[in-house]
Amino acid sequence: MHEEYKTITLQCIPFHCGIPGNEKANGMAKKRCFVNQAPYNLAMYESASTMINQMLNITHMSSLKERTKEKPQKSGIFKFPDCPRNITIAAFCLTNEHDCLFAHFCRFRTVDSPA
């Protein structure tokens, strides 16, 4: 990942070539060709990778939020996007009842299932 001056090129194989599975790859390649690129400046691999990952995250997070907006149990996940990872994981486990306390409560028969 620390190599400099690598050229990253996305190529599109035409649909009529008859390659199986090419329909999906063709559509994905066309979508990804719209990522902002600097054609006359050489970009380091890390910066190009970061730029592509940011674009993918923006695309997928918006579609994920749209698909889960009707589900109340999933809406709490987006409340911790800027917290450190360990705090986010702990909060997620507690809000979704995936913590170890439920196993102990089940042994004492204070809850129905250990979740």
Looking at residue 12, its pLDDT comes to: 61
Contact 16, 39 (CB under 8 A): no
Residues 6+ apart with CB under 8 A from 52: 32, 35
Looking at residue 61, its pLDDT comes to: 81
Contact 5, 42 (CB under 8 A): yes
Contact 96, 73 (CB under 8 A): yes
Q: What is the pLDDT along the chain (115 residues), one digit of tens a residue?
A: 566 777 777 666 666 666 666 667 667 766 766 666 556 566 678 888 888 888 888 888 888 778 777 766 545 555 666 778 887 777 777 776 666 766 777 777 776 665 5
